[in-house]
Structure 1
Amino acid sequence: MPLLPDALAATLARCVGLSNARRQTLVVVILRMISARTVNLSHLAAAFCGPAKLTSNYRRLQRFFQHVQLDGDWLAKALVALLGLAPPYRLCLDRTNWKVGCKDINLLVLCIATRPVRIPVLWDILDHGGSSTIAQRKALIERFMALFGRSSIKLLLSDREFFGNQ
Protein backbone atom coordinates (compact mmCIF):
# COMPACT_ATOMS: atom_id res chain seq x y z
CA MET A 1 0.00 0.00 0.00
CA PRO A 2 1.49 3.38 -1.00
CA LEU A 3 2.27 5.99 1.60
CA LEU A 4 -0.13 8.93 1.89
CA PRO A 5 2.23 11.51 0.28
CA ASP A 6 2.86 9.17 -2.67
CA ALA A 7 -0.83 8.40 -3.11
CA LEU A 8 -1.71 12.10 -2.92
CA ALA A 9 1.02 12.96 -5.45
CA ALA A 10 -0.24 10.26 -7.83
CA THR A 11 -3.82 11.53 -7.58
CA LEU A 12 -2.74 15.14 -8.07
CA ALA A 13 -0.69 14.12 -11.12
CA ARG A 14 -3.96 13.13 -12.81
CA CYS A 15 -5.77 16.32 -11.78
CA VAL A 16 -3.34 19.21 -12.01
CA GLY A 17 -0.67 19.97 -14.59
CA LEU A 18 2.36 20.75 -12.45
CA SER A 19 5.96 19.64 -12.70
CA ASN A 20 7.01 16.89 -10.29
CA ALA A 21 8.85 19.37 -8.03
CA ARG A 22 5.87 21.73 -7.84
CA ARG A 23 3.50 18.80 -7.30
CA GLN A 24 5.66 17.59 -4.39
CA THR A 25 5.57 21.11 -2.94
CA LEU A 26 1.78 21.09 -3.21
CA VAL A 27 1.64 17.70 -1.44
CA VAL A 28 3.74 19.03 1.45
CA VAL A 29 1.59 22.17 1.66
CA ILE A 30 -1.66 20.18 1.74
CA LEU A 31 -0.48 17.62 4.29
CA ARG A 32 1.18 20.21 6.52
CA MET A 33 -1.87 22.51 6.47
CA ILE A 34 -3.97 19.57 7.62
CA SER A 35 -1.60 18.46 10.38
CA ALA A 36 -0.59 21.92 11.61
CA ARG A 37 -4.03 23.48 11.05
CA THR A 38 -2.42 26.63 9.75
CA VAL A 39 -1.61 28.32 6.47
CA ASN A 40 1.37 30.20 7.92
CA LEU A 41 4.28 29.70 5.52
CA SER A 42 6.85 29.68 8.33
CA HIS A 43 5.16 26.67 9.89
CA LEU A 44 4.72 24.95 6.52
CA ALA A 45 8.39 25.50 5.63
CA ALA A 46 9.44 23.48 8.67
CA ALA A 47 7.68 20.38 7.24
CA PHE A 48 10.03 19.82 4.31
CA CYS A 49 12.41 16.88 4.56
CA GLY A 50 16.02 17.09 3.51
CA PRO A 51 19.09 19.19 4.18
CA ALA A 52 17.68 22.54 3.00
CA LYS A 53 17.56 25.36 5.51
CA LEU A 54 14.28 26.66 6.85
CA THR A 55 14.80 29.95 4.99
CA SER A 56 15.31 28.07 1.71
CA ASN A 57 12.09 26.12 2.23
CA TYR A 58 10.26 29.33 3.08
CA ARG A 59 11.52 30.92 -0.14
CA ARG A 60 10.49 27.77 -2.05
CA LEU A 61 6.94 28.22 -0.78
CA GLN A 62 6.95 31.91 -1.70
CA ARG A 63 8.07 31.06 -5.26
CA PHE A 64 5.42 28.33 -5.47
CA PHE A 65 2.58 30.72 -4.63
CA GLN A 66 4.10 33.46 -6.77
CA HIS A 67 4.30 31.35 -9.94
CA VAL A 68 1.59 28.69 -9.60
CA GLN A 69 -2.00 29.74 -10.23
CA LEU A 70 -4.42 27.11 -8.95
CA ASP A 71 -8.06 27.61 -9.81
CA GLY A 72 -11.01 25.82 -8.25
CA ASP A 73 -11.34 23.42 -11.16
CA TRP A 74 -8.24 21.36 -10.31
CA LEU A 75 -9.50 21.08 -6.75
CA ALA A 76 -12.87 19.76 -7.94
CA LYS A 77 -11.18 17.01 -9.95
CA ALA A 78 -8.79 16.20 -7.09
CA LEU A 79 -11.56 15.99 -4.48
CA VAL A 80 -13.65 13.67 -6.64
CA ALA A 81 -10.62 11.46 -7.30
CA LEU A 82 -9.40 11.45 -3.67
CA LEU A 83 -12.84 10.61 -2.32
CA GLY A 84 -13.45 7.94 -4.95
CA LEU A 85 -16.75 9.48 -6.04
CA ALA A 86 -18.25 7.96 -9.16
CA PRO A 87 -20.81 9.41 -11.56
CA PRO A 88 -23.63 9.99 -12.00
CA TYR A 89 -23.61 12.72 -9.34
CA ARG A 90 -26.42 14.26 -7.37
CA LEU A 91 -25.64 17.97 -7.31
CA CYS A 92 -26.81 20.65 -4.90
CA LEU A 93 -26.67 24.32 -5.79
CA ASP A 94 -26.82 26.83 -2.97
CA ARG A 95 -25.70 30.30 -2.00
CA THR A 96 -24.09 31.18 1.28
CA ASN A 97 -22.87 34.42 2.73
CA TRP A 98 -20.62 35.20 5.68
CA LYS A 99 -19.37 38.32 7.29
CA VAL A 100 -15.63 38.36 7.99
CA GLY A 101 -14.91 41.49 9.97
CA CYS A 102 -16.64 44.21 7.94
CA LYS A 103 -16.38 42.28 4.66
CA ASP A 104 -19.31 40.36 3.23
CA ILE A 105 -18.45 37.09 1.48
CA ASN A 106 -21.18 35.88 -0.87
CA LEU A 107 -20.64 32.48 -2.54
CA LEU A 108 -22.55 30.45 -5.09
CA VAL A 109 -21.61 26.83 -4.35
CA LEU A 110 -22.10 23.58 -6.27
CA CYS A 111 -21.81 20.42 -4.16
CA ILE A 112 -21.84 16.71 -4.86
CA ALA A 113 -24.30 15.05 -2.51
CA THR A 114 -23.10 11.82 -0.94
CA ARG A 115 -24.96 9.85 1.71
CA PRO A 116 -23.42 11.46 4.79
CA VAL A 117 -22.21 14.85 3.50
CA ARG A 118 -22.25 17.42 0.70
CA ILE A 119 -18.84 18.01 -0.89
CA PRO A 120 -18.37 21.56 -2.26
CA VAL A 121 -16.56 21.13 -5.58
CA LEU A 122 -17.07 24.41 -7.44
CA TRP A 123 -17.97 27.91 -6.34
CA ASP A 124 -18.09 31.49 -7.53
CA ILE A 125 -17.51 34.53 -5.39
CA LEU A 126 -20.38 36.90 -6.05
CA ASP A 127 -19.34 40.54 -6.19
CA HIS A 128 -22.65 41.74 -4.82
CA GLY A 129 -25.00 40.96 -1.97
CA GLY A 130 -28.14 38.92 -2.42
CA SER A 131 -29.02 36.24 -4.92
CA SER A 132 -27.11 35.07 -7.96
CA THR A 133 -28.21 35.65 -11.54
CA ILE A 134 -29.33 32.95 -13.96
CA ALA A 135 -26.14 33.59 -15.96
CA GLN A 136 -23.94 32.97 -12.88
CA ARG A 137 -25.76 29.73 -12.04
CA LYS A 138 -25.60 28.56 -15.64
CA ALA A 139 -21.87 29.34 -15.84
CA LEU A 140 -21.17 27.27 -12.71
CA ILE A 141 -23.08 24.27 -14.09
CA GLU A 142 -21.27 24.64 -17.43
CA ARG A 143 -17.91 24.59 -15.62
CA PHE A 144 -18.95 21.36 -13.92
CA MET A 145 -20.00 19.82 -17.24
CA ALA A 146 -16.70 20.87 -18.85
CA LEU A 147 -14.82 19.04 -16.08
CA PHE A 148 -16.94 15.94 -15.64
CA GLY A 149 -19.24 15.76 -18.67
CA ARG A 150 -22.94 16.36 -19.07
CA SER A 151 -23.78 12.69 -18.52
CA SER A 152 -22.12 12.78 -15.08
CA ILE A 153 -25.12 14.65 -13.63
CA LYS A 154 -27.96 12.51 -12.28
CA LEU A 155 -29.94 15.40 -10.84
CA LEU A 156 -29.58 18.97 -9.66
CA LEU A 157 -31.21 20.18 -6.46
CA SER A 158 -31.63 23.82 -5.46
CA ASP A 159 -34.02 25.81 -3.32
CA ARG A 160 -36.66 28.35 -4.27
CA GLU A 161 -34.09 31.15 -4.32
CA PHE A 162 -33.03 29.91 -7.78
CA PHE A 163 -35.90 30.83 -10.05
CA GLY A 164 -36.05 31.29 -13.81
CA ASN A 165 -36.93 29.25 -16.87
CA GLN A 166 -33.39 28.80 -18.15
Structure 2
Amino acid sequence: MFKKAPRAEVKLEGWGGEREVGVRGLDRNDEKPNYPLMNELNRLRDTLRSHLSWHGARLNFVCLFLMALFQAKTVNLAELATVFANPVQISSNYKRLQRFLGKFDFDLTEIARFVVSLIDIPQPWTLSLDRTCWSLGQTHFNILMLAVVHEGIAFPLLWTMLDKKGNSRRTHGLVRPL
Protein backbone atom coordinates (compact mmCIF):
# COMPACT_ATOMS: atom_id res chain seq x y z
CA MET A 1 0.00 0.00 0.00
CA PHE A 2 2.76 2.47 0.92
CA LYS A 3 5.91 2.76 -1.15
CA LYS A 4 9.15 4.00 0.29
CA ALA A 5 10.18 7.10 -1.63
CA PRO A 6 13.82 7.97 -2.20
CA ARG A 7 15.42 10.47 0.17
CA ALA A 8 17.34 13.51 -0.99
CA GLU A 9 19.03 16.19 1.05
CA VAL A 10 18.19 19.68 -0.17
CA LYS A 11 18.34 23.23 1.12
CA LEU A 12 15.02 24.98 1.58
CA GLU A 13 14.66 28.72 1.71
CA GLY A 14 11.64 30.72 2.76
CA TRP A 15 10.82 28.59 5.81
CA GLY A 16 12.36 30.92 8.37
CA GLY A 17 15.91 30.58 7.08
CA GLU A 18 17.96 28.17 5.05
CA ARG A 19 18.49 24.64 6.37
CA GLU A 20 18.96 21.12 5.12
CA VAL A 21 16.01 18.80 5.46
CA GLY A 22 15.13 15.39 4.11
CA VAL A 23 12.58 15.56 1.32
CA ARG A 24 10.71 12.53 0.02
CA GLY A 25 9.53 11.97 -3.51
CA LEU A 26 12.22 13.23 -5.86
CA ASP A 27 12.09 11.50 -9.22
CA ARG A 28 15.43 9.77 -9.76
CA ASN A 29 15.31 10.27 -13.54
CA ASP A 30 15.05 14.03 -13.75
CA GLU A 31 15.41 15.11 -10.09
CA LYS A 32 12.23 17.21 -10.40
CA PRO A 33 10.08 17.19 -7.31
CA ASN A 34 6.80 15.34 -7.39
CA TYR A 35 4.69 14.48 -4.41
CA PRO A 36 3.73 10.78 -4.45
CA LEU A 37 3.42 10.75 -0.68
CA MET A 38 0.75 13.44 -0.78
CA ASN A 39 -1.68 10.97 -2.37
CA GLU A 40 -0.80 8.36 0.26
CA LEU A 41 -1.23 10.89 3.07
CA ASN A 42 -4.62 11.95 1.70
CA ARG A 43 -5.78 8.33 1.42
CA LEU A 44 -4.63 7.59 4.94
CA ARG A 45 -6.28 10.75 6.30
CA ASP A 46 -9.57 9.85 4.57
CA THR A 47 -9.44 6.36 6.07
CA LEU A 48 -8.74 7.70 9.56
CA ARG A 49 -11.38 10.45 9.25
CA SER A 50 -14.11 7.89 8.56
CA HIS A 51 -13.31 6.06 11.83
CA LEU A 52 -11.92 8.63 14.26
CA SER A 53 -13.66 11.79 15.46
CA TRP A 54 -10.44 13.83 15.69
CA HIS A 55 -9.80 17.41 14.59
CA GLY A 56 -8.35 17.78 11.05
CA ALA A 57 -4.98 19.08 12.29
CA ARG A 58 -4.68 16.09 14.65
CA LEU A 59 -5.50 13.70 11.79
CA ASN A 60 -2.88 15.35 9.58
CA PHE A 61 -0.25 14.96 12.28
CA VAL A 62 -1.15 11.31 12.89
CA CYS A 63 -0.84 10.66 9.14
CA LEU A 64 2.64 12.22 9.10
CA PHE A 65 3.51 10.20 12.20
CA LEU A 66 2.33 6.92 10.68
CA MET A 67 4.13 7.59 7.39
CA ALA A 68 7.31 8.34 9.34
CA LEU A 69 6.88 5.03 11.22
CA PHE A 70 6.52 3.16 7.91
CA GLN A 71 9.60 4.83 6.45
CA ALA A 72 11.91 4.77 9.46
CA LYS A 73 10.84 1.30 10.63
CA THR A 74 11.54 2.35 14.22
CA VAL A 75 9.73 3.90 17.16
CA ASN A 76 12.75 5.99 18.17
CA LEU A 77 11.45 9.58 18.19
CA ALA A 78 14.81 11.09 17.27
CA GLU A 79 14.93 8.94 14.13
CA LEU A 80 11.26 9.52 13.30
CA ALA A 81 11.80 13.27 13.47
CA THR A 82 14.33 13.04 10.62
CA VAL A 83 11.88 11.44 8.17
CA PHE A 84 8.79 13.60 8.72
CA ALA A 85 7.47 14.76 5.36
CA ASN A 86 7.32 18.45 6.25
CA PRO A 87 9.74 21.34 5.79
CA VAL A 88 10.54 22.19 9.42
CA GLN A 89 13.60 21.62 11.55
CA ILE A 90 14.19 18.13 12.90
CA SER A 91 14.18 19.46 16.47
CA SER A 92 10.68 20.90 15.87
CA ASN A 93 9.42 17.52 14.66
CA TYR A 94 10.97 15.84 17.70
CA LYS A 95 9.26 18.26 20.11
CA ARG A 96 5.97 17.85 18.28
CA LEU A 97 6.20 14.05 18.62
CA GLN A 98 6.94 14.39 22.33
CA ARG A 99 3.97 16.70 22.87
CA PHE A 100 1.63 14.43 20.94
CA LEU A 101 2.62 11.26 22.78
CA GLY A 102 2.83 12.98 26.16
CA LYS A 103 -0.28 15.12 26.14
CA PHE A 104 -2.84 13.72 23.68
CA ASP A 105 -5.55 11.67 25.38
CA PHE A 106 -6.23 8.65 23.20
CA ASP A 107 -9.77 7.26 23.34
CA LEU A 108 -8.80 3.59 23.46
CA THR A 109 -12.35 2.44 22.77
CA GLU A 110 -12.45 4.50 19.56
CA ILE A 111 -9.07 3.12 18.48
CA ALA A 112 -10.15 -0.45 19.31
CA ARG A 113 -13.25 -0.07 17.14
CA PHE A 114 -11.05 1.32 14.36
CA VAL A 115 -8.62 -1.62 14.55
CA VAL A 116 -11.47 -4.14 14.47
CA SER A 117 -13.06 -2.43 11.45
CA LEU A 118 -9.73 -2.28 9.59
CA ILE A 119 -8.86 -5.95 9.92
CA ASP A 120 -12.47 -7.01 9.25
CA ILE A 121 -12.47 -10.08 11.50
CA PRO A 122 -15.63 -12.15 11.17
CA GLN A 123 -17.60 -12.85 14.33
CA PRO A 124 -17.58 -14.68 16.67
CA TRP A 125 -14.25 -13.30 17.88
CA THR A 126 -11.60 -15.04 19.89
CA LEU A 127 -10.33 -12.68 22.56
CA SER A 128 -7.09 -12.98 24.46
CA LEU A 129 -6.46 -11.36 27.84
CA ASP A 130 -2.75 -11.31 28.61
CA ARG A 131 -0.55 -9.79 31.25
CA THR A 132 3.14 -9.32 30.75
CA CYS A 133 5.60 -8.24 33.38
CA TRP A 134 9.22 -7.32 32.74
CA SER A 135 11.77 -4.79 33.87
CA LEU A 136 14.35 -2.54 32.31
CA GLY A 137 16.90 -1.58 34.94
CA GLN A 138 14.96 -0.27 37.93
CA THR A 139 11.76 0.32 35.93
CA HIS A 140 9.10 -2.38 36.05
CA PHE A 141 6.50 -2.79 33.31
CA ASN A 142 3.29 -4.68 34.04
CA ILE A 143 0.82 -4.52 31.15
CA LEU A 144 -2.64 -6.02 30.93
CA MET A 145 -3.82 -6.29 27.32
CA LEU A 146 -7.00 -7.39 25.57
CA ALA A 147 -6.52 -8.54 21.97
CA VAL A 148 -8.68 -10.07 19.25
CA VAL A 149 -7.09 -13.14 17.65
CA HIS A 150 -7.32 -13.71 13.91
CA GLU A 151 -5.39 -16.35 11.96
CA GLY A 152 -2.95 -16.84 14.81
CA ILE A 153 -2.18 -13.13 15.28
CA ALA A 154 -3.33 -11.17 18.35
CA PHE A 155 -4.30 -7.59 17.51
CA PRO A 156 -4.20 -5.39 20.66
CA LEU A 157 -7.45 -3.55 21.33
CA LEU A 158 -7.24 -2.28 24.91
CA TRP A 159 -4.39 -2.16 27.39
CA THR A 160 -3.47 -0.63 30.69
CA MET A 161 -0.28 -0.28 32.68
CA LEU A 162 -0.59 -1.85 36.12
CA ASP A 163 1.20 -0.12 38.98
CA LYS A 164 2.38 -3.36 40.58
CA LYS A 165 5.45 -5.50 39.87
CA GLY A 166 3.67 -8.87 39.83
CA ASN A 167 0.29 -10.59 39.77
CA SER A 168 -2.74 -9.01 41.35
CA ARG A 169 -4.65 -10.92 44.03
CA ARG A 170 -7.86 -9.04 43.50
CA THR A 171 -10.07 -8.37 40.54
CA HIS A 172 -9.73 -4.96 38.90
CA GLY A 173 -12.27 -3.33 36.59
CA LEU A 174 -9.58 -2.67 34.00
CA VAL A 175 -11.27 -3.67 30.77
CA ARG A 176 -14.56 -2.15 29.76
CA PRO A 177 -16.85 -3.35 26.95
CA LEU A 178 -16.61 -1.75 23.51
Report TM bin, short chain: 0.5 to 0.7
In the alignment, structure 1 segments of 5+ residues that lack a partner are: 148-166
Is the radius of gyration larger for structure 1 or structure 2?
Answer: 2
In the alignment, structure 2 segments of 5+ residues that lack a partner are: 3-38
Which residue of 168, 171, 177 corresponds with 1:132? 168
Secondary structure class of the residue paired with 1:81: helix
Aligned equivalent of 2:134: 98
1:81 to 2:114 alignment: no
Asked whether the 8 Å contact 1:32–1:47 carries over to 2, the reply is: yes
Aligned equivalent of 1:109: 145
Deviations 1:108-129 (A, max 9, x none): 1111111221112111211113
Q: TM-score, normalised by structure 1?
A: 0.66
Deviations 1:39-68 (A, max 9, x none): 344433343445545455455445544653
1:27 to 2:67 alignment: no
Q: TM-score, normalised by structure 2?
A: 0.62
Secondary structure class of the residue paired with 2:47: helix
Q: Distance in 1 between matches of 2:154 and 2:174?
A: 20
RMSD: 3.0
Asked whether the 8 Å contact 2:71–2:83 carries over to 1, the reply is: no
Residue 32 of structure 1 deviates from its aligned partner by 1.0
Aligned equivalent of 1:162: none
Deviations 1:4-41 (A, max 9, x none): 43343233224433211210111111221232133344
1:10 to 2:46 alignment: yes
Aligned length: 142
Larger RCO, structures 1/2 (Cα 8 Å, 6+ apart): 1
Q: Distance in 2 between matches of 1:77 and 1:68?
A: 18
Asked whether the 8 Å contact 1:91–1:110 carries over to 2, the reply is: yes
Structure 1 residues 21, 93: CA separation in 2 closer, same or farther (over 3 Å shift)? same
Higher-helix-fraction structure = 1
Structure 1 residues 133, 17: CA separation in 2 closer, same or farther (over 3 Å shift)? farther
- Compare 19-28 and 59-68 and name the one that shifted more: 59-68
Asked whether the 8 Å contact 2:112–2:158 carries over to 1, the reply is: yes
Deviations 1:85-123 (A, max 9, x none): 243321111211112222221111111111221112111
